[in-house]
């Protein structure tokens, strides 16, 4: 387990993290995960985060080493799409039993890897460490190494026992696994001056496909997307890219930064949500590529594309502007979405009555302030009861959040829209922005709200 604590330390000391830069050496060592409150905690574990980050690699076997809890209760719960292999949609687990807990689960793990290879012949197997085997001291690094020798293909250990920390930490541990065992182990068939990596994009509801045509149009090739719609060999050979775009803020910053360090690939942070953010992302990408040898015209082509796409999107949004201007939105989400969605909604004239900043970095908060003014109602932490009150008193017209808190809104008989992992609509790029606004419009103007708020005829008052 010393290996794990080293890894955790390494991620905590991430110099790319703005929060860290402000800390003393000693503070940094303590790490950034807040002590959780027993009985008042919510949210996933490090294993959850690692799985979220890597599961969208579509053609490998994702084998979870642990009791049935970790995989049996959770598999098949995210809408990350694939254009090809469907192997990633199956759940694989060692489902360890009492005997394994007593005698150790390494042998079972080795056999499980063998079975998975025999039956599914994947280019690689990813092995996830979870709490129970970590506690009894199963050495998955050693098992994976032995298996790699035996079966002649990559077997990637992912050190991610849930108790190590939060989902966010798990994202980073997943990144470490890729850096240590995958990235740079193969060579691409060919390269172009316009090869990029995208890090932190999971192709939920197929969002990558809203962006890819734009890049295709500019002749920019996605060498690897980490990890939406990815295949193993793409990630293994992505160290030959010319630039990296880091999506969704800090979740996988370690990948972007270490690839810069190791292979000299510069990166920038950006978002595909919102019209101006999307344009900025294209601009920055083009600029970085030109700086590294891509043809100069890429810049003007990009501007042209941006102008055309923005115009198109505004044209489509005009219809909604009239219907949505002045409507008040309550945003309960975390991290990057707290600001990327804000700018998007403001573009159609909606008012943000509050946004949660529980998981946002200081930098995220700065951006919110810039967007919403100093008065911005940033909600550090709001209990479901408070949210319910707020909606019941109609201080917002619609709530946007992750699926888990949807019923707070629905039970208050207020419109709600899913903007987290389980959403079924793709909201990236120019088209995605239009789709998001269309969904908000559809939710807000559904006649059902009038219907459900009708009191029963026999009700008093």
Partner 1 sequence: MAEVINSRKACSVSPLKMSQPIGGALALMGVHGCMPVLHGSQGCTAFGLVLFVRHFREMIPLQTTAMNEVTTILGGMENIEQALLNIAQRAKPQIVGICSTGLTETKGDDIVGYLKLIRQRRPELAELPVVYVSTPDFKGAFQDGWAKTVAQIVEELVEPGAARIDDQINLLAGSHLSPGDLEEIRQIVESFGLRPILLPDLSGSLDGHIPEDFTPTTLGGTRLEEIRRMGASRATIALGEQMRGAALALEMKTGVPHLLVDRLMGLRSVDRFLHLLAELSGRPVPQVYRRQRSQLVDAMLDGHFFFGGVKVAIGAEPDLLQNVGHWLAELGCELKAAVSTTESIVFADLPVERVCIGDLEDLEQEALGCQLLLTHSHGRQMAARLQIPFYRIGIPIFDRLGAAHQVLVGYRGSRSFLFEVANRLIAAREEEEGAHWPGRGPHEEAARACQCQEEDQRTG
Answer yes or no whether residue 388 interacts with partner 1 by CB under 8 A: yes
Q: Which is nearer to ligand SF4, 96 or 144 (CB)?
A: 96
Instruction: Give me the least distance between CB of 106 and ligand SF4, in Å please.
Output: 17
Residue pair 54/126 in contact (Cβ under 8 Å)? The answer is yes
Query: Which of residues 92, 126, 427, 430 is near partner 1 by CB under 8 A?
Result: 92
159 near ligand SF4, rule: CB under 6 A: no
Q: Is 177 exposed, middle or buried (0-12, 13-18, 19+ CB in 10 A)?
A: buried
Q: Which is nearer to ligand SF4, 66 or 274 (CB)?
A: 66
Of 54, 57, 112, 194, the one binding partner 1 by CB under 8 A: 112
Q: Which residue is it, tokens 């909600």?
A: 379
Task: Please say whether the dihedral angle defined by the alpha carbons of residues 56, 83, 433 and 253, taken in this order, is positive or negative.
Answer: positive
Closest contact distance (angstroms) between CB of 38 and partner 1 is 4
Q: What is the spatial distance between Cα 61 and Cα 90, in angstroms, rounded to a whole number?
A: 8
Closest-approach residue to ligand SF4 (CB): 162
Among 55, 58, 80, 130, binds ligand SF4 (CB under 6 A): 130
φ, ψ at 234 (rounded to 5°): -65, -45
Number of residues that bind partner 1 (CB under 8 A): 72
Contact 142, 122 (CB under 8 A): no
What span, in angstroms and rounded, lies between the C-alpha atoms of 157 and 152?
15
Q: Which residue from 382, 380, 357 is spatially nearest to 368, judged by alpha carbons?
A: 357
Pairing verdict, β 416-418 and 221-227: unpaired
Please say which residue, 76 or 261, places its beta carbon nearer to partner 1.
76
Beta carbons within 8 Å of 323's beta carbon, 6+ residues apart: 441, 444, 445
In the list 49, 56, 66, 354, the residue contacting ligand SF4 (rule: CB under 6 A) is 66
Tell me the closest approach of the beta carbon of residue 410 to partner 1, in angstroms: 9
Among 11, 32, 45, 57, interactor with partner 1 by CB under 8 A: 45
- Is residue 127 a contact point for ligand SF4 (CB under 6 A)? no
Q: Under the criterion CB under 8 A, does residue 39 sit at the interface with partner 1?
A: yes
- 384 binding partner (options ligand SF4, partner 1, none; Cβ < 5 to 8 Å by kind): partner 1
Q: Which residues pair with 267 in a beta bridge?
A: 244
CB 317 within 8 A of CB 276: no
The site partner of 165 among partner 1, ligand SF4, none (C-beta below 5 to 8 Å per kind) is: partner 1
Tell me which of 10, 136, 378, 438 binds partner 1, using CB under 8 A: 136
Query: 């990235």: which residue's tokens?
Result: 183
Determine how many CB atoms are found less than 10 A away from the CB of residue 189: 7
Under the criterion CB under 6 A, does residue 70 sit at the interface with ligand SF4?
yes
Query: 8 or 57, CB closer to partner 1?
Result: 8
| Position 69 contacts ligand SF4 (CB under 6 A) | yes
Give residues 206-235 in contact with partner 1 (rule: CB under 8 A). Answer: none
Nearest Cα neighbor of 236 from 171, 160, 179, 170 is 179
Task: Output the furthest CA–CA distance in the chain (Å, rounded).
Answer: 76
**What b-and-e string marks burial along 152-165, b requiring 16 or more CB atoms within 10 Å of the CB?**
ebbbbbbbbbbebb
Q: How far apart are alpha carbons 246 and 290 in whole angstroms?
A: 18
317 binds ligand SF4 (CB under 6 A): no
SS3 8: helix
Q: Decide if residue 47 touches partner 1 (CB under 8 A).
A: yes
Q: Which does 440 bind (CB under 5 to 8 A by kind): ligand SF4, partner 1, none?
A: none
By CB under 6 A, residue 165 contacts ligand SF4: no
8: closest CA among 167, 200, 164? 164
Residue closer to partner 1 (CB basis): 135 or 142:
135
How far apart (Å, rounded) are the C-alpha atoms in residues 203 and 432? 12
Report the residue number, 66 or 175, with the smaller CB distance to ligand SF4. 66
User: 277, 444, 272: which is closest to 371 by C-alpha?
Assistant: 277
* Binders in 403-422 for ligand SF4, by CB under 6 A: none
From the CB of 161, what's the least distance to partner 1, in Å? 7
Task: Name 389's Cβ contacts closer than 8 Å, sequence gap at least 6.
Answer: none
Q: Which two tokens stand for residue 247?
A: 């999506």
One residue of 161, 188, 270, 335 binding ligand SF4 per CB under 6 A: 161
- Residue selected from 17, 61, 131, 398 as contacting ligand SF4 according to rule CB under 6 A: 131
Residue of the chain from 2, 149, 385, 455 that contacts partner 1 (CB under 8 A): 385
Please give the helix or strand (H or E) that residue 133 lies within, else none.
helix 131-136
Q: Is 133 in the site for ligand SF4 (CB under 6 A)?
A: no
**At its nearest, how many Å lie between partner 1 and the CB of residue 172?**
16
CB nearer to partner 1: pick between 92 and 232:
92
| 45 contributes a contact to ligand SF4 by CB under 6 A | yes
Q: How far apart are CA 336 and CA 274, in angstroms?
A: 12
From the list 94, 203, 340, 360, which residue makes contact with partner 1 (rule: CB under 8 A)?
A: 94
Structure tokens at 382: 């709001």
Interface residues toward ligand SF4, by CB under 6 A: 45, 47, 66, 69-70, 130-131, 161-163
């Amino acid at each position: 387990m010393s290996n794990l604590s080293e890894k955790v330390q390494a991620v905590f000391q991430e110099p790319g993290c703005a929060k860290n830069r402000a800390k003393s050496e000693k503070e940094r060592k303590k790490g950034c995960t807040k002590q959780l409150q027993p009985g008042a905690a919510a949210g996933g574990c490090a294993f959850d985060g690692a799985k979220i980050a890597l599961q969208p690699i579509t053609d490998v076997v994702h084998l979870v080493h642990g009791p049935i809890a970790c995989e049996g209760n959770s598999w098949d719960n995210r809408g990350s799409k694939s254009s090809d292999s469907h192997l990633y949609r199956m759940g694989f687990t060692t489902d360890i039993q009492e005997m394994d807990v007593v005698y150790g689960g390494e042998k079972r793990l080795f056999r499980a890897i063998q079975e998975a290879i025999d039956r599914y012949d994947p280019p690689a197997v990813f092995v996830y460490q979870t709490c129970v085997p970590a506690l009894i001291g199963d050495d998955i690094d050693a098992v994976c190494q032995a298996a790699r020798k035996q079966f002649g293909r990559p077997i990637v250990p992912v050190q991610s026992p849930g108790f190590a920390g939060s989902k966010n930490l798990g994202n980073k541990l997943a990144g470490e696994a890729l850096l240590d065992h995958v990235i740079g182990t193969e060579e691409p068939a060919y390269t172009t001056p316009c090869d990029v990596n995208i890090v932190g994009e999971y192709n939920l509801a197929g969002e990558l496909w809203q962006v890819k045509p734009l890049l295709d149009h500019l002749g920019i090739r996605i060498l690897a997307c980490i990890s939406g719609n990815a295949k193993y060999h793409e990630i293994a050979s992505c160290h030959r890219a010319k630039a990296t775009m880091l999506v969704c803020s800090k979740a996988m910053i370690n990948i972007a930064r270490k690839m810069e360090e190791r292979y000299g690939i510069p990166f920038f942070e950006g978002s595909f949500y919102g019209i101006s953010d999307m344009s900025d992302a294209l601009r920055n990408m083009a600029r970085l590529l030109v700086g590294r040898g891509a043809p100069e015209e890429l810049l003007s082509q990009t501007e042209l594309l941006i102008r055309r796409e923005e115009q198109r999107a505004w044209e489509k949004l005009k219809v909604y502007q009239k219907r949505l201007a002045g409507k008040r939105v309550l945003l309960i989400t975390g991290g990057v979405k707290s600001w990327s969605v804000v700018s998007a909604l403001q573009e159609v004239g909606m008012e943000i009555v509050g946004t949660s900043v529980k998981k946002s970095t200081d930098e995220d908060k700065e951006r919110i302030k810039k967007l919403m003014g100093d008065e911005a109602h940033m909600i550090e932490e709001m209990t479901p009861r408070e949210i319910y009150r707020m909606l019941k008193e109609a201080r917002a017209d619609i709530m946007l959040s992750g699926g888990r808190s949807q019923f707070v809104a629905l039970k208050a008989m207020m419109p709600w829209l899913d903007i987290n992992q389980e959403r079924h609509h793709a909201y990236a790029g120019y088209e995605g922005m239009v789709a998001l606004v269309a969904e908000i419009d559809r939710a807000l103007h559904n006649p059902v709200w009038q219907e459900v708020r009708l009191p029963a005829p026999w009700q008093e008052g």
